[in-house]
Structure 1
Amino acid sequence: MENSKKVLIVTYYWPPAGGPGVQRWLKFAKYLPEFGWEPIIYTPENPSYPLVDETLTKEVPKNLKIVKTNIWEPYQIAEKFSKSNKKFKGGQFDVGKNQSFISKLSIFIRGNFFIPDARKFWIKPSIKFLKKYLTENQINTIVTTGPPHSLHLIGLGLKKELPNLKWIADFRDPWTEISYYKHLKLTSSSDKKHRQLEKSVFENADLTLATSYTDAENFRKNGANAFCVTNGFDENVESLNRKIVKNDIENSILQIHDSAKFTLSYVGILEQLRNPENLWKSLKELCEKQPDFANDFELKFVGRIDDKILNNIENSVLKNNIKNLGYLAHDESVKEMENSDLLLITNFPNESSNGIIPGKLFEYLATGKQIISFGPKDADVETILDKTKAGKHFDYSESGEISDFILSLYNDWKSGKSIENSANINEFSRKELTQKLAQLLTDLKR
């Protein structure tokens, strides 16, 4: 493949990293060659991942070139002093009265002493290494993907060193506009520095990618040449769904009745900042008032659920309805999605989170199952659910309609009626999205 069609992707998360952060560029790397681009991965040799999923290494294309250098991170030291650092590294926070002094101190240190984040020590060595590597291999297009947003500073440094370089900054989550930013206990000078660095990335990147419509719009308002390329689902998940959808009504009914429980599942990490308390309240009330529902209902967790959330649910009428499977490999997680009747997705409650579209939403869509979502009003997730007719979105303050929605689906399940959605979701397939990305890359070369 011609040198002009090579693209170097700078990413912290790469197999065997688990969780949603690794999926986006793993899938882009899989399909980019089909559209005339050769991806090359640059990633740490010795990263400190909050989650590990060895099965994802099987999905790495065999001919993909991967370049690695060492990184030094302070997390391993911090974890010796506080378990909260493991949660923090995985994007989880203790909030309010649940915060211990050690937790508050570690968050303050992280927000003010490690700007933009604790992977900052990889910036200068990477700029030095990649300047030489890019030049020697005649690569003039790079992508940096964050968080961690320190990786964008690698791109910023290379852009200044190599003026002809085309640089795409991919924001899987926003920087200063993400909901937990206000929980970092930043001093005014630290806040100013974060915002200056973010602005510099927006203004110097040739192209800024956002994973949601709202984020792209906000980035443009802040000086970025921003486009939206959402996350999506892989073709193998879609084909699995099609096999299910093609079943005739009789087989669908048999399949439904083979499932002994009406199952509501949450797959992923659930922390206190995205805790749908009114959902738990509605489920408790349904179990108390509807004996049949209480007998048929199963609340399934796949992933990492905050201990305080789990303890609260376990110390209630729902304790006998819980099935907590813990973290599973990605392919096993997809199977658990398939073996559910209703899938839960949660977002941060404030308006600034309208643009967050969790990556698992698209895998949820591919299963054809109904989805119940919690987040701010008019969120991008709500737009997608309305467009695909795949479920219902609720504001965190809503309560009564939650019970009505769940009870309606339960009654359909009880009567043997299919409760799957059938809307067209092809535009969210990884291959279609990669074609869109490839076109953006090609346009940059002109």
Structure 2
Amino acid sequence: MIICYYWPPAGGPGVQRWLKFVKYLRDFDIEPVVYVPENPHYPIEDSSLEKEIPNGIEIIKTPIFEPYGFAKLFSKESTRQISSGIIKPEGKQSFLQKLMLFVRGNLFIPDARKWWVKPSIKFLASYLDKNPVDIIITTGPPHSLHLIGLALKVQKDLSWLADFRDPWTTIGYQKKLKLTDWATKKNANLEFEVLNKADHILVTSPTTQSDFEKTTSTPISCITNGFDDEIVPETSLDTAFTLAHIGSLLEDRNPEILWEVLQELVTELPHFSKDLKIELTGRVGASVVDSIKEKGLETNLSLPGYVNHTEALQKQHSAQLLLLIEIDSQETEAIIPGKLFEYLASRRPILAIGPKHSDIASILKKSESGIYFNYQQKQGLKKHIKFNYELFKNTGISSTSGNVDAYSRKNLTRDLARLIHSI
């Protein structure tokens, strides 16, 4: 039984991991049963993902009380941002936003889905009496779902696998929630209990695995996110020198170093300004757009907005270079964005910018799919973009040819199935 919050019609990266695992688990003699909320609050929806749910999969739903529904009465936009983990810098927060953050951080522990925990424990305890399963799997965030697994582990003496798609107490936005000392300690205690009472911990990055191993002796495995072998409608490469980012690019991930480099190349290289296209598909923060405009690159900017999954794949296949941007902080060293793996499948060269130490860099190197720069490597970044522009003008930028099969969803599900059978 897989207990998750994000499920179609939810859009965005949170839904992909377990939707894809469920898609392939039957190939490895595992029958999944999925438990999800009946009336969730999803910041992004993509109904096209519903067609990927395998026929005949049992999906159980119960109602959830969503405080974000009430919060929207006061500020719909602030509610959407906070529920997505998007938090404005301190100086740009209104009084209402500060109040909402304080309430979220100190009253909703570990998160705003906490009111689904007790009803779910009661419902599933009864359900499992009549419909026994071999193992329960909880996936967070929201990390409150792990508390459902914790209770069922004790009550039903079931094997329990806790999957962390992102860290809990060390994730970047945790520090922005205006936590009191009591709330900080409460989160840490809950995380410690989950890590030490689960039968097995599953994570998505080697850095998270290393961090958790300092806290628990529970066995931990790392299975990254991945890509599906999907049929993408035929696309051709853009005729422009396209640097494309697909997915949210908000205020805290504004790569000003990149805009500075592009501004310099516009002044230094003939025709660069005419050829350059900066395509940011998805939600883009106002400060990101402002930074691009300030560098005189407004005419090079394309903002298609949010597109469905198929359109996103097409844009990945047509770009000259794919941009992957991560926040420059220690907390993001363990974050491997899900879009990285779809980028790998497109076989277009990846240009990544992030913190000095990142698991992204090793994946790019291993798969020979791109290059990684930290925020102190401006000259290296500039040289790389200039090199690729010269390729674009002369021979064209070739597709990558490295081995990415290890990151296919089916192969990753094979690894998961072996793990499940071993617990």
In the superposition, the TM-score normalised over structure 1's length comes to 0.92
Structure-2 residue corresponding to 1:248: none
> Which of 318, 321, 329 is 1:339 aligned to?
318
Structure-2 residue corresponding to 1:305: 284
* Counterpart secondary structure, 1:356: coil
Asked if residue 132 in structure 1 is aligned to residue 126 in structure 2, the reply is: yes
How much has 1:116 moved relative to structure 2? 0.3
Q: Which runs of 5+ in 2 are unaligned?
A: none
Moved more, 315-324 or 421-430: 315-324
Moved more, 287-296 or 429-438: 287-296
Structure-2 residue corresponding to 1:270: 249
- The one-letter code matched in structure 2 to 1:225 is P
The CA RMSD measured in Å over matched residues stands at 1.5
Deviations 1:364-416 (A, max 9, x none): 01111111112212311000011112111111233122111111111111113
Q: Among the aligned pairs, what percent are the same residue?
A: 45
Checking the alignment, whether the CA contact within 8 Å between 1:274 and 1:346 is kept in structure 2 is: yes
> Which of 195, 201, 206 is 2:199 aligned to?
206
In the superposition, the TM-score normalised over structure 2's length comes to 0.96
Structure-1 residue corresponding to 2:109: 115
> Which of 35, 41, 48 is 1:48 aligned to?
41
- The one-letter code matched in structure 2 to 1:63 is G
Structure-2 residue corresponding to 1:3: none
Structure-2 residue corresponding to 1:177: 170
- The one-letter code matched in structure 2 to 1:273 is D
Structure-1 residue corresponding to 2:20: 27
How do residues 77-226 of structure 1 correspond to structure 2 at under 5 angstroms?
77-82=70-75, 83-163=77-157, 165-223=158-216, 224-226=218-220
Q: Which runs of 5+ in 1 are unaligned?
A: 1-7, 245-254
Moved more, 300-309 or 199-208: 300-309
- The one-letter code matched in structure 1 to 2:289 is L
Checking the alignment, whether the CA contact within 8 Å between 1:217 and 1:226 is kept in structure 2 is: no
Deviations 1:49-90 (A, max 9, x none): 000001011111111111000001111111221222211112
- The one-letter code matched in structure 1 to 2:45 is V
Moved more, 173-182 or 346-355: 346-355
Provide the C-alpha distance between the structure 2 equivalents of 1:166 and 1:390, rounded to a whole number of angstroms.
Answer: 38
- The one-letter code matched in structure 1 to 2:203 is A
* Counterpart secondary structure, 1:192: helix
Provide the C-alpha distance between the structure 2 equivalents of 1:423 and 1:91, rounded to a whole number of angstroms.
Answer: 34
Checking the alignment, whether the CA contact within 8 Å between 1:202 and 1:225 is kept in structure 2 is: no
Checking the alignment, whether the CA contact within 8 Å between 2:388 and 2:397 is kept in structure 1 is: no
Checking the alignment, whether the CA contact within 8 Å between 1:39 and 1:64 is kept in structure 2 is: yes
Provide the C-alpha distance between the structure 2 equivalents of 1:352 and 1:77, rounded to a whole number of angstroms.
Answer: 31
Aligned residue pairs: how many? 421
How much has 1:157 moved relative to structure 2? 1.2
How much has 1:315 moved relative to structure 2? 4.4
Asked if residue 72 in structure 1 is aligned to residue 51 in structure 2, the reply is: no
Provide the C-alpha distance between the structure 1 equivalents of 2:85 and 2:266, rounded to a whole number of angstroms.
Answer: 32
Deviations 1:278-299 (A, max 9, x none): 1111112222332411100100
> Which of 359, 366, 371 is 1:380 aligned to?
359
Provide the C-alpha distance between the structure 2 equivalents of 1:17 and 1:127, rounded to a whole number of angstroms.
Answer: 23
